[in-house]
Chain A
Amino acid sequence: GENVEQHPSTLSVQEGDSAVIKCTYSDSASNYFPWYKQELGKGPQLIIDIRSNVGEKKDQRIAVTLNKTAKHFSLHITETQPEDSAVYFCAASRGRDDKIIFGKGTRLHILP
């Protein structure tokens, strides 16, 4: 089955700097890659997603890149702000009706 690896497990960046979280997946049939942000005591919130027919997607300060050949995808957050502090999960899914497999999460700390 699918296996999603996520790195780093913890990341601290200075406010205003960029943060990058990387994930790899094992199943070449996976074609949908969402990213979730989870704040303490809350459920995950979808922040951006990318499908396998696209190499990059951007939404304001957040961007995601996908390399299908290498089977890895990354989340980029620019101009980080204190409210970006949270746990971020990457995930992968094979098809329309297939379940989502989550990475183990990255705890992002934005330092003042």
Chain B
Amino acid sequence: GAVVSQHPSWVICKSGTSVKIECRSLDFQATTMFWYRQFPKQSLMLMATSNEGSKATYEQGVEKDKFLINHASLTLSTLTVTSAHPEDSSFYICSAAGLAGLKTQYFGPGTRLLVL
């Protein structure tokens, strides 16, 4: 149980374009979803926390206008990287937490973004 999917698994885009990444909880209702960013050989860095139906809470240093997060339903959250630049290239991972509380997070497989 507790499967989380992400789409796309990888994406290449030109500098200046926007990219949308989807995160879905397939077999449970996710009251809260998290978005992380991971650079090569480094740990996960929490970008933002989103609760269904409300605005996301961004971590310090993360630009909310750059990384738009929408959590419109209990099974879907999206991260849009607006006006992407090469420094936004990274591995983006979402996780979802349900009724068991935020501690029990289940991670998606990640999306690798390369901005040219």
Interface residues of A (CB under 8 A from B): 32, 34, 36, 41-46, 49, 89, 93, 95-100, 102-105, 107
Contact = CB atoms under 8 A, between A and B. Distances in A.
B44 A102 contact: yes
Interface of B: 4, 6, 34, 41-44, 46, 49, 93, 95, 101-110, 112
B110 A105 contact: no
B34 A99 contact: yes
Given A43-B110, A44-B93, A103 B103 contact: no
A96 B103 contact: yes
Contacts of A105: 42-43
B107 A93 contact: no
A93 B102 contact: yes
Given A41-B110, A41-B112, A43-B110, A104 B43 contact: yes
Contact of B103 (A34, A36, A43, A107): A34
22 contacts: A36-B107, A41-B110, A42-B109, A42-B110, A43-B4, A43-B6, A43-B93, A43-B109, A43-B110, A46-B104, A49-B103, A89-B43, A89-B44, A93-B103, A95-B103, A96-B103, A99-B34, A99-B102, A100-B102, A100-B105, A102-B44, A103-B43
B93 A97 contact: no
Contacts of A43: 4, 6, 93, 95, 107-110
A100 B103 contact: yes
Q: Which 7 A-B pairs have the closest CB atoms?
A: A96-B101, A43-B107, A32-B103, A43-B110, A43-B109, A104-B43, A44-B107
Given A44-B44, A105-B43, A97 B101 contact: yes
Contacts of A89: 43-44
